[in-house]
């Protein structure tokens, strides 16, 4: 089933604590998994920060965060999310074929006449330490829409 029209596909939860210098290059189809992982981590460890980044590597999610308390359960949650993304289409989030680089469903092939370019999810709004303490955002603008690789390279 293709989930391309779901509202949560292109929107990163603005409360995801992404450090200003952390990288973000995440397929839009994986946003429901990332948003759910964030909610689970907050419930488990409270405040944390993504200090290195979030991206796709070898067809799986990479979510590198620093937790206030070392938690084997937090690491296990991140690993489970990584494994879930291995078979989710990076474009729509539907069931996809496991791949070395980019899992895709039949509706969103990487190559050939029906090829679909990569779509990267909008980055969460950046927050300062003061914003985190207040529970607010430093950038109140609405989330940006996802962009295709063709749009980014134009």
Of 6-10, 55-59, 64-68, 97-101, where does mean pLDDT reach its minimum? 6-10
State pTM to two decimals: 0.74
Looking at the predicted structure, is the pLDDT value of residue 141 above 60? no
Q: Is the pLDDT of residue 154 over 70?
A: no
**What pLDDT score was predicted for residue 35?**
93
**Residues whose CB falls within 8 Å of the CB of residue 3, separated by 6 or more in sequence, listed in order:** 9, 29, 32, 92, 93, 94
Give the mean model confidence (pLDDT) for residues 83-88: 94
Mean pLDDT of the chain: 78
**Contact (CB, 8 A) for 81 and 34:** yes
> What is the average per-residue pLDDT within 116-134?
69
Q: Which residues pair with 66 in a beta bridge?
A: 49
pLDDT of amino acid 78: 92
| More confident: 135 or 67 | 67
Average pLDDT over residues 45-72: 87
Highest-scoring range by mean pLDDT, 30-39, 128-137, 143-152: 30-39
Distance CA 20, CA 127 (A): 8
């Amino acid at each position: 089933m293709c989930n391309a029209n779901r509202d949560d596909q292109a929107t990163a939860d603005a409360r995801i604590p992404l450090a200003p210098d952390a990288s973000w290059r995440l397929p839009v189809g994986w946003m429901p998994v990332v948003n759910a992982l964030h909610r689970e981590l907050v419930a488990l460890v409270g405040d944390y920060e993504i200090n290195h980044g979030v991206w796709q590597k070898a067809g799986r999610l990479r979510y590198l965060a620093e937790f206030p308390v070392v938690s084997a359960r937090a690491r296990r949650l991140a690993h489970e999310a990584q494994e879930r993304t291995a078979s989710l289409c990076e474009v729509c989030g539907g069931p996809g074929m496991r791949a070395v680089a980019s899992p895709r469903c039949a509706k969103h092939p990487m190559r050939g006449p029906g090829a679909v370019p990569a779509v990267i999810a909008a980055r969460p709004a950046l927050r300062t330490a003061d914003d985190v303490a207040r529970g607010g955002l430093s950038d109140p603008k609405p989330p940006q829409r996802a962009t295709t690789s063709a749009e980014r390279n134009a």
